[in-house]
Chains A and B, each alone.
Chain A
């Protein structure tokens, strides 16, 4: 694979100069008919409960017509865009300039880190102390937690190419380790943090050891099952985990000094007026450091033999085995290191929430983290950041769009997971190997030539 030929480039001779409107119309008609079949019952009729819990059907012809119409117009537009692009490709000689994603990665990450380290200051100066809970807590900390989880999972999915559908289990193990250690042995956050990471890594090894011999999709299903088992155990083992009622955990403190209103607490000792915002800002910097550590370790590991081995494994497992690599151990390190960062994030989550329930660790969370990694383009650190900001920040913004409710008839924030699911499918169709993932050769003759992801097939490049 060396030429710049893309698999979806249309054959130039097949494109006609005029848009075949009739053909497109026929296609759109069929698409609309299929849509009518798909949506006719499920969208066209709504099952509503009466007071006596009896179900009645409420017809929604307007919504149904709108959706079928949208499919009809969408199909027409799609045909037109495809034709337009094909015609443009025929007239163009050069392949056109494309953004060098590798450059984006190199410039984007430092710029992003610089912005993040001053983010709370910007918030305080532009919006005042009162907006700290909203902007720093709801946006900043929440997004950073997901960035960290995304970066942790990225080691497993993006670098080693192992699909982990139960990553949230390690997050849960970290959280419960922290909460239980604090409850029974009085550990504070800083003491519990390494234990939580070690515990998650240990579970990663315990789970990974027998299952990592499996082929990719079986591995994915086993990790899914493991995630569900951890969730169900947390839900049902009431004596140990508190069951559905949850478990309270101590809030984070400033290296031993609690953030309270008392005389020996943080604000009194430093001669400041008491405000809960200090804790929030401290939490922000803690998760920022944790997340950046994850990124730094990932970048360093990538250059070590083990990191190279992960990437080789992702590209072609059979070849790796043929050259005598111990694939199980290589996978196990990726799995354990990814799990460890999940455990750290979990302990942080416990210290932030001060209260954990099994409902924070459902499969949907795993799917969301996976979606962040996939939509960010598996393997790319900046991609994960962008995807986390769009998915997590976007859903916070959807919550702000309450005024749209009368227009679309539903709470806009409900559409978050719908968009996540659709996004995953589109990403796979459009660029399955990721946005930025490019192959950098480790041995070269004169200059290091990057190989774009679109030119790399499994077992090639």
Chain B
């Protein structure tokens, strides 16, 4: 029972992070129908920006008491800004010209971008793991067990709250604001949206920036949870987040978070009860099974191909 509860808490935390990344995949896919393969690496760039900012800010403010929260907030803001700038640039340089091109061109371009980003960070920051001291310690003991106690760590609580708040904010943004309406219009028919005076390029650019911003939030949370960053961190979380987006129904915002939570739970329960070696195999298998048997996802609409 203790193992189960603890793994559920871990799974929800991990799932929140995957969900935040998955929103980026799902929004971009929704609006221009492309799998942004480089999104996982955008997340990794966000991790590095957060790490470097964290080192700068803590060097100035110190790490005691409330200073850590101020430091984290500054990290978050800078990471969101810089990562957003990255995705904006990438969209403008590598994807925009390819919108009317043949089917696989944007995906191949995104794969190229992904390779470019991984190697850019590897060369500029070297290939070693970058550890920082534990950022937030302590937690609430939920249950006394015989072998160990079930603990809800403060950092896990922070991650869950941040995800929930951001989800509500973006849900509101997409459903109720002019920007969200423009996004949904572009999703349905780009040409018609343009005829009705929506700046399609700007809307798509903003979508990329929002996606990257959420990935940067996830990146900061990743730093808080794992206290270590590496240039390889983009690939596996990226694929898992993509799985989450597909599982939840690609194009659907709550679906992305739901999918993320499911993937996080499956992964942590799998490592708790079966084999930790095969946890990534489990995630990839779910991806394959989902794509084959449930390509429209849990909350998505079945796709009709039109000529």
| Contacts from A to B (Cβ < 8 Å) | 34, 37-38, 40-43, 45-47, 49, 53, 55-57, 161, 163, 165, 210-211, 214-218, 220-222, 224-226, 228-229, 232-233, 236, 318, 363-364, 367, 370-371, 374, 410, 414-415, 417-418, 420-425, 427-429, 432-433, 457-458
Contacts and interface: CB of A to CB of B under 8 A. Distances in A.
B305 A318 contact: yes
Nearest to B120: A418
Contacts of B128: 49
A229 to B, nearest CB: 5
Contact of B104 (A49, A216, A364): A216
Contacts of A225: 239, 284-285, 287-288
Nearest to A459: B307
Tier of interface size on chain B: 35 or more
B108 interface: yes
Given A40-B82, A42-B45, 13 more contacts: A41-B82, A47-B52, A49-B130, A57-B56, A210-B292, A211-B291, A220-B104, A228-B284, A232-B284, A236-B281, A414-B119, A421-B113, A458-B103
B18 interface: no
B112 interface: yes
B299 interface: no
Nearest to B275: A236
A228 B291 CA distance: 16
Nearest to B284: A225
21 contacts: A34-B85, A34-B89, A41-B48, A41-B52, A41-B82, A47-B125, A55-B131, A56-B55, A57-B52, A57-B56, A163-B104, A163-B108, A217-B103, A220-B107, A221-B246, A225-B285, A232-B277, A370-B111, A422-B112, A425-B109, A428-B106
Contacts of B48: 41-42, 47
A217 B116 contact: no
Contact of A428 (B86, B101, B130): B101
A334 B239 CA distance: 26
B235 interface: yes
A161 B115 contact: no
Contacts of B235: 363
Nearest to B285: A229
A429 B97 contact: yes
Contacts of A415: 119, 123
Contacts of B285: 225, 229
Nearest to B83: A38
Given A55-B130, A410-B123, A165 B111 contact: yes
B154 interface: no
The 5 A-B pairs with the shortest beta carbon distances in the complex, nearest first, are A424-B112, A421-B115, A421-B116, A425-B112, A428-B109
A34 B112 CA distance: 21
Interface string B25-57: 000000000110000000001001101110110
A53 B82 contact: no
A46 B124 contact: yes
Nearest to B278: A236
B109 A161 contact: no
Interface of B is mostly: helix
B164 interface: no
Contacts of A425: 93-94, 109, 112-113, 116
Contacts of A432: 98, 101-102, 105, 108
A38 B34 CA distance: 24
Contacts of A224: 239
B295 A229 contact: no
B116 A38 contact: no
Contacts of A53: 131
A218 B107 contact: no
Given A46-B125, A53-B131, A222-B288, A457 B102 contact: yes
Query: Quick one: which of B89, B112, B119, B126 has the most chain A CB within 10 A?
Result: B112
A232 B280 contact: yes
A42 B85 CA distance: 13
Contact of A163 (B78, B94, B107): B107
A461 to B, nearest CB: 12
B116 A55 contact: no
B88 to A, nearest CB: 8
A217 B288 contact: no
Contacts of B173: none
A316 to B, nearest CB: 9
Given A53-B131, A424-B109, A232 B116 contact: no
A42 B81 CA distance: 14
Given A225-B287, A421-B116, A217 B104 contact: yes
Contacts of A38: 82, 85-86, 89
A429 B278 contact: no
A68 to B, nearest CB: 14
Contact of A374 (B97, B102, B108, B113): B108
B7 interface: no
B102 A433 contact: yes
Query: Quick one: which of B35, B102, B246, B277 has the most chain A CB within 10 A?
Result: B102
B52 A220 contact: no
A420 B111 CA distance: 10
B124 to A, nearest CB: 5
A38 B81 CA distance: 10
Nearest to B79: A41
A37 B85 contact: yes
B102 A214 contact: no
Interface string B218-254: 0000000000000000010001001000100000000
A423 B112 contact: yes
A280 B123 CA distance: 34
Given A38-B82, A211-B288, A228 B123 contact: no
Contacts of B81: 37
A432 B52 CA distance: 37
Contact of A367 (B94, B115, B284): B115
Contacts of A418: 115-116, 119-120, 123
Nearest to B96: A429
A421 B112 CA distance: 4
B22 to A, nearest CB: 13
B115 A417 contact: yes
B114 A421 contact: yes
A55 B108 contact: no
B132 interface: yes
Contacts of B98: 428-429, 432
B122 interface: yes
B109 to A, nearest CB: 4
Contacts of B78: 41
Contacts of B117: 421
Contacts of B132: 55
A221 B281 contact: no
Nearest to B45: A42
Contacts of A236: 275, 277-278, 281
Contacts of B136: none
